[in-house]
Amino acid sequence: MLPFFFWVGVMKAAHRYILTLTCPDRVGIVAQVSELIASVKGWVTEANYHSDQETKQFFMRNEIRGDSISDQVDAFKTRFSDIAAEFNMQWALHDTAEKQRVVLFASKASHCLNDLLHRWHNGELDCMISAVISNHESLRRMVDWYDIPFECIPILPEAKATGFDQVAQALTRLQPDAVVLARYMQVLPTSICETFSGRMINIHHSFLPSFMGANPYQRAFERGVKLIGATSHYVTEDLDEGPIIEQDVSRVSHRHETKDLIRLGKDIERVVLARAVRQHLEHRVFISGNKTVIFD
């Protein structure tokens, strides 16, 4: 008999279709969607929905067993299009068998990048990492160990535009579904931010909106805070102000120096970024203005 952990792994890796939708809130949405899924013998394994009273928007996420509708996917999409038109929906049916392509960015700090690579290597992140792009060579050997392409594109102070043109060209060539900035210490130009709107995830080493920008741990130490944190958010052209996906904190005291805050903060950064990436890959995050709705 196979051990319990094997069966858990099999269950988590099972083929699924993930239906996501958002639309103006009104009566009958859940009933119509559920009736259609049932009519094609769809086996729902997880169902979530939320009605936002402020924006009057409705959000829904359903997981459906792949083997229950695999022979009717096209018909399901055709029929669902009629419902979408009736309710003015933005919707998608995501096939988990189609791995999302992810490009990771990093500079010199290795902790977030190494954590993501390790989780991917162990199967915790269900995606294909197409490449790691860095503005320094220092992380090449670590990335090589994972047998992932590493591209060094320097961003020189006197030639930033040239460097970012090369970054844009690399992203055009790689065509990622998502981009993750794992402590990439460069401010990307607006054009790249707009191209990957809602698909570019950053980790900031403070509990936003506190201590935006550079040197947040030093500024937190000087302010004498009792909590430090990390924030993962979607990237926009406004620095550190994109919709927040995940946050966490750690308690500190007067005994801690800046170096202690940095050490404790790195642990939070790793976990917060990994959670955000996983939630994004599993289509659990819905952007609503400058906020997010997350079905965890």
Residues marked active site are found at 240
Evaluate whether 278 touches 124 at the Cβ level (below 8 Å): yes
Evaluate whether 86 touches 23 at the Cβ level (below 8 Å): no
Residue position matching structure tokens 């639309």: 23
As a three-state string, the secondary structure of 87-98 is: HCCEEEEEECCC
Question: What six digits make up the tokens of 146?
Answer: 């994972």
Helix axes 258-281, 111-121, angle to 10 degrees: 40
Among candidates 183, 186, 261, which has minimal Cα distance to 222? Answer: 261
CA atoms of 134 and 153, how far apart (whole Å): 6
Per the DSSP assignment, residues forming a β-bridge with 250 are: 228
Beta strands across the sheet bearing 227-234: 150-152, 128-134, 101-106, 178-181, 200-204, 227-234, 244-251
